Structure 1
Amino acid sequence: MDVPGEIDEAIAAELRLMDPSVRSSRALSRELLDPDFVEIGASGRRWTYAEMLAALSEIAGGSAEGPRYEPSAMNGTVLAPGLVHLTYDTHIDGHHAHRSSLWRRHTDGTWRMYYHQATPFPK
């Protein structure tokens, strides 16, 4: 069920969301998060769409002067047309996490993160 380009588009959106210039802009972040967004962070905290938009510039990776996310081993699977599951690892400021994201394409063609989960692991 691989729809050409969908995995690449979801990966591009995921990488864009890690960019400090996007994370520090509520308007740009809003373009990449689904209104039904939920995250279970590496801390175990559950984040809603509104909570994440309000905090994204303040948490790790949100400043050009601070630490940046270093992703690796990124893989994607098309679960259905317009729905992509990404898995990868990140390193930021001495912390490592396995990550899983669900991206869905909206009717306007944009990709938005619907769900994200991070699980810390020791290096």
Structure 2
Amino acid sequence: MDSEAEAVREAIAGELRLMDPGVRRSPSLVRQLLDPDFVEVGASGRRWTYEEMLAELPGVAGSVEDGPVYEPSAMIGVMLAPGLVHLTYETTIGGSRARRSSLWCRRGEGAAWRMYYHQATPAAA
């Protein structure tokens, strides 16, 4: 069974991988990190489903080779229940700042941690 600290570390590692442009351009790598029931409400207010994210992520900000990348800060996490971790942090990319919140779940012992929900809210620079 994961300790809370280990679960939070694994969720943070997954979150940081999802900000890596090389990972973002690879639907097969993203598929390993997103739960099939994934939903996101982006900083634009758009609601993204799992399939939409897999299809469009390679071409959006933070994914483009030699383009701006996400710079995370103040990332913290807490285990809300066994198999459920909540992360909060801030990002900057291309001069835009956002506050972010993610839920990571692990469906069964030995299963991978995957992002279940993500919310981004624009923040003043």
TM-score > 0.5, shorter chain as reference: yes
Q: After superposition, where does 1:35-50 map in structure 2 within 5 Å? A: 35-50=36-51
Q: Return the letter of the residue paired with 1:110.
A: A
| C-alpha distance after superposition, 1:50-85 (max 9, x if no partner) | 000001011111123110000000010100111000
Cα distance in structure 2, aligned partners of 1:73 and 1:50 = 29
Q: TM-score, normalised by structure 1?
A: 0.95
Matches within 5 A, 1:88-103: 88-103=89-104
How far apart in 2 are the matches of 1:66 and 1:4? 33
Identity %, equivalent residues = 65
Q: Extract structure 1 runs of 4+ deviating beyond 6 A.
A: none
Other-structure match for 1:111: 113
- Aligned 1:50-61 pairs, distance under 5 A: 50-61=51-62
| RMSD of equivalent CA atoms | 1.0
Tell whether the 8 Å contact from 2:4 to 2:78 is kept in structure 1 after alignment: no
Q: Which has the higher helix share?
A: 2
TM-score normalised over the length of structure 2? 0.94
Note the residue ranges of structure 1 that are not aligned, 5 or more in a row.
Answer: none
